[in-house]
Amino acid sequence: MHSIDLIATVLMAFGAFFMFTGALGLLRLPDFYTRLHATGKCDTLGEVLLIVGCMVYQGWSFLTIKLFFLMLFIFIANPVATHAIMKAAYVTGVKPWKKGEERR
């Protein structure tokens, strides 16, 4: 295995780890806000790391530029979407969870 392939594999393994952690947080945490707090950051970082691993594996070509723009779009759009859902929930009156309350 070449060193380029090794670097790409390590980057994609980190990305898959972060995506798995985000999904676990979405499944396990007690409230809507805490769930989005887990997934909104972990998923963005995991997907960006996976796409950077694909860019390293690809080398210099036209496909790398497409992957770079996809990475840039995800890096901007994913936190904006998370913020939009969370602000919609806050405006329509979803109460945050406090310690000792029941899971929702």
* Contact footprint for other proteins (CB under 8 A): 5, 8-9, 12, 15-16, 19-20, 22-24, 26-27, 32, 35-36, 39, 43, 47, 50-51, 54, 57, 63, 66-67, 69-70, 73-74, 77-78, 80-82, 84-85, 87-89, 91-92, 94, 104
Judged by beta carbon, residue 88 or residue 101, the one nearer other proteins is: 88
CB 14 within 8 A of CB 49: yes
C-alpha dist (Å) from residue 90 to 25, 41, 85, 94, 96: 20, 19, 9, 6, 9
- Closest distance to other proteins from the beta carbon of 76 (Å): 9
- Closest distance to other proteins from the beta carbon of 40 (Å): 9
Judged by beta carbon, residue 20 or residue 101, the one nearer other proteins is: 20
User: How many Å apart are CA 74 and CA 30, to the nearest integer?
Assistant: 27
When computed from its CA atoms, the radius of gyration of the chain, rounded to whole angstroms, is: 17
